[in-house]
Amino acid sequence: MLYLYNTLTRQKERFEPIDPKNVRMYVCGMTVYDYCHLGHARVLVVFDMIARWLRQHGYPLTYVRNITDIDDKIIARANQNGETIQQLTERFIQAMNEDSQALGVLRPDIEPKATEHIAQMIQMIEKLIENGKAYPAENGDVYYAVREFDAYGQLSGKSLDDLRAGERVEVDGFKRDPLDFVLWKAAKPEEPSWASPWGNGRPGWHIECSAMGGELFGQTFDIHGGGADLQFPHHENEIAQSCGANGGLCGHNKPVSGSLKKIDSHVKYWLHNGFIRVDNEKMSKSLGNFFTIRDVLKKYQPEVVRFFILRAHYRSPLNYSDAHLDDAKNSLTRLYNTLNNVKPIEFKLDSNGNNNDYTHKFFNAMNDDFGTAEAVSVLFEIANEANKNDSAELSGCLKTLGGVLGLLQDNPEQFLQGGNNVDGLSADEINKLISQRKIARETKNWAESDRIRDILAEHKIQVKDSADGTTWTRG
């Protein structure tokens, strides 16, 4: 039985899908105007782990992770670079996919883009106006009227009164209430815009996820995830929009104790991962204290980064430093040493984890709100025992359970070689870079092909292009 911590109710709850034959999970993905940093890596890896565990449990899962490909920062960056928005976003979507793949993140089933769902957003805003939850203003913007949604504040635990008193809210002459938020922004000169009943404009960020979630999953779904920074206002607003557009007929409407009158959410379980922090501050592009995944991967093998993320519980804060990554590398090396010293034999995992005490413990840890920290410590127990008894079966068990977390599937020798020389690229990695370079050159993406050339040069890989293709040598 799986229990998960629901931010909405602030307690661990037993996971009971709305429709066990069709489990639905939506995660807020990247705003694509720059390379992903380690904070983004955490969302990617954590929800990949959750998707894998739900499937391991036997749930047929549809996993959606959206792509925000229009917003203020994207427009500003494209202007700054002198490229079109599409060029910019495509470049960084590709980079995100490369980084994810390196980290062993499986592709979500659907990766909807905001710009491909403008019609659904407009429809939802129309519905909100019809239901008295939103209003067009004189300046061409459309706002959500937060006081029209009784349960506003339920997810973040903030009441409208607290918000008014505690937050410095921008006074905007066009809003009826300073806490109202924008659903549709009137077009500004030189900015991309779409036609709408309120004139040309573009959608606000929050409506994007409500519209795409509704389009792909219908009025209710099981799990909604993202980083803890999204609880407020993004997810709070998303609930207000989705339930407001559904006419208040959200599936999970129950009275709760305390100051909130009720819970009303289109999503049954809200999951939020903790931050990757640097010096106890959230790693973020806006603060400028970020390390991109690709920079970190120049120094550490991708699996070390995945392991660093998964050996912590997904909700706890995780401090980034070289010392922590070195430590993660040493720990993972110990597990690979076992696999190298005690050759694993095939281990068939029982679907309920009833093989042995270790698998049992591992399953219990994962079923307790995806307790990967505990699950990883079980891997060390198994490794110790496998070493002590020279047990090929336990070594197999280690490899199989590691695989459930997307770990330990590399050839141990190869991993250990890379581990001794963290700056080296494996042959697979080099071949991948060469084929990416080929695509970049074919599509005249010179910035990308230069970037790859620089990585190869940095690792002293000599590349030779000829009519028969490309070959490479080290040295």
Ligand X SMILES: Nc1ncnc2c1ncn2[C@@H]1O[C@H](COP(=O)(O)OP(=O)(O)OP(=O)(O)O)[C@@H](O)[C@H]1O
Instruction: Report the sign of the C-alpha dihedral through residues 418, 419, 423, 429, in that order.
Output: positive
DSSP state of 368: B
Distance of CA 460 to the CA centre of its chain: 33
Question: Does 112 engage in binding with ligand X (CB under 6 A)?
Answer: no
Query: Which of residues 93 and 187 has its CB atom nearest to ligand X in the complex?
Result: 93
Alpha-carbon distances of 3 from 342, 362, 369, rounded to whole Å: 35, 14, 5
Return phi, psi of residue 462, to 5°.
-90, 125
Sites for ligand X among residues 115-174 (CB under 6 A): none
Q: CB of residue 319 vs Zn ion: minimum separation in angstroms?
A: 26
Question: Does 70 engage in binding with Zn ion (CB under 5 A)?
Answer: no
Query: Which of residues 41 and 425 has its CB atom nearest to Zn ion in the complex?
Result: 41
**Contact indicator for 232, 187 with CB cutoff of 8 Å:** no
Of 425, 426, 422, 375, give the one whose Cα is nearest residue 401.
Answer: 375
Binding residue positions for ATP: 285
Q: CB of residue 42 vs ligand X: minimum separation in angstroms?
A: 4
Q: Which residues contact 25 (CB under 8 A, 6 or more apart)?
A: 47, 50, 51, 54, 61, 62, 63, 64, 221, 222, 223, 224, 225
Of 297, 260, 342, 383, give the one whose Cα is nearest residue 8.
Answer: 260
Binding mask 286-305 for ligand X (x = CB under 6 A): x-------------------
**Contact indicator for 400, 282 with CB cutoff of 8 Å:** no
Cβ atoms within 10 Å of 14's Cβ, excluding its own: 9
Distance of CA 4 to the CA centre of its chain: 17
Choices 49-57, 243-251, 270-278, 371-379; region in contact with ligand X by CB under 6 A: 270-278
Query: Which of residues 124 and 283 has its CB atom nearest to ligand X in the complex?
Result: 283
Sites for Zn ion among residues 180-239 (CB under 5 A): 209
Q: CB of residue 96 vs ligand X: minimum separation in angstroms?
A: 9
Binding mask 273-312 for Zn ion (x = CB under 5 A): ----------------------------------------
Question: Does 108 engage in binding with ligand X (CB under 6 A)?
Answer: no
Q: CB of residue 99 vs Zn ion: minimum separation in angstroms?
A: 20
Binding residue positions for Zn(2+): 28, 209, 234, 238
Query: Which of residues 33 and 59 has its CB atom nearest to ligand X in the complex?
Result: 33
Question: Does 39 engage in binding with ligand X (CB under 6 A)?
Answer: yes
Question: Does 42 engage in binding with ligand X (CB under 6 A)?
Answer: yes
Question: Does 54 engage in binding with Zn ion (CB under 5 A)?
Answer: no
Rounded Cα distance, 214 and 237, in Å: 14
Q: Angle 372-389/322-341 helices, nearest 10 degrees?
A: 40
Choices 39-47, 49-57, 160-168, 407-415; region in contact with ligand X by CB under 6 A: 39-47
Task: State the pairing for strand pair 142-144/181-186.
Answer: antiparallel
Q: CB of residue 28 vs ligand X: minimum separation in angstroms?
A: 4
Q: Where are the beta strands (DSSP E) in 237-379?
A: 252-255, 262-265, 267-273, 276-278, 281-282, 318-319
Question: Does 32 engage in binding with Zn ion (CB under 5 A)?
Answer: no
- Residue 233: is the preceding peptide bond cis (ω within 30°)? yes
User: Over the range 126-162, which residues count as b (16 or more CB within 10 Å of their CB) and which as e?
Assistant: bbbbeeebbbbbeebbbbbbbebbebbbbbebbeeee
Question: Does 95 engage in binding with ligand X (CB under 6 A)?
Answer: no
Classified as helix, coil or strand, 219 is coil
Using CB under 6 A, count the residues that bind ligand X.
19
**Contact indicator for 92, 73 with CB cutoff of 8 Å:** no
Q: CB of residue 458 vs Zn ion: minimum separation in angstroms?
A: 36
Question: Does 227 engage in binding with ligand X (CB under 6 A)?
Answer: yes
Q: CB of residue 34 vs ligand X: minimum separation in angstroms?
A: 8
Q: CB of residue 217 vs Zn ion: minimum separation in angstroms?
A: 13
Q: Looking at 26, 53, 152, 275, which residue binds ligand X (CB under 6 A)?
A: 275
Question: Does 313 engage in binding with ligand X (CB under 6 A)?
Answer: no
Q: CB of residue 43 vs ligand X: minimum separation in angstroms?
A: 4
Question: Does 31 engage in binding with ligand X (CB under 6 A)?
Answer: yes
Query: Which of residues 8 and 440 has its CB atom nearest to ligand X in the complex?
Result: 8
**Nearest residue to ligand X on Cβ basis:** 227
Rounded Cα distance, 74 and 115, in Å: 12
Question: Does 226 engage in binding with ligand X (CB under 6 A)?
Answer: yes
Stretch (H or E) spanning 75: helix 72-81
Choices 27-35, 84-92, 121-129, 302-310; region in contact with ligand X by CB under 6 A: 27-35
Q: CB of residue 14 vs ligand X: minimum separation in angstroms?
A: 25
DSSP state of 110: B
- The option from Zn ion, ligand X, none interacting with 30 (CB < 5 to 8 A, set by class) reads ligand X
**Contact indicator for 436, 98 with CB cutoff of 8 Å:** yes
Q: Which residues bind Zn ion (CB under 5 A)?
A: 28, 209
Q: Which residues bind ligand X (CB under 6 A)?
A: 28, 30-31, 39-40, 42-43, 226-227, 229-230, 273, 275-276, 282-286
